[in-house]
Amino acid sequence: MSTYVFAPWTIGPDRSDEDTTSPLRRIECTTCGEKSENGVEQVGPDMWAISHAVRTSHRGFREVVTALLRVVPAPGNPYHGKEDSDDLWEV
């Protein structure tokens, strides 16, 4: 007979690294597939899209936003507060 105990976990923005806290934005042209650079600022990808539209007459774009997430033990989980433990993920 096996017994399973479920502990609470939570998922949210990954704040483990200061450089990755802001979502990355990129804009893609839906006509030709050309892409802006990834950026954390709004203006860079937007300016790329406007410049691309002026240069090519392409008018359709897709915004791609990548936000890093992190799963951590929630309060009530025996690993809560021990997220940096090396043996946390060993089963």
CB 36 within 8 A of CB 27: yes
Q: Binding string, 44-73, against Zn ion, x = CB under 5 A?
A: ------------x-x---------------
Tokens found for residue 50: 């406007």
Site membership for Zn ion, residue 35 (CB under 5 A): no
Compute CA distances 29 → 18, 53, 54, 65, whole Å: 30, 9, 12, 14
Three-state DSSP state, 55? helix
Smallest gap from Cβ 39 to Zn ion, in A, equals 18
Q: State which of residues 25, 27, 29, 73 lies at the interface with Zn ion (CB under 5 A).
A: 29
Q: For Zn ion, give the closer residue by CB, 2 or 57.
A: 57
Site membership for Zn ion, residue 31 (CB under 5 A): yes
| Sequence letter at residue 60 | G
Residues that bind Zn ion (CB under 5 A): 29, 31-32, 34, 56, 58
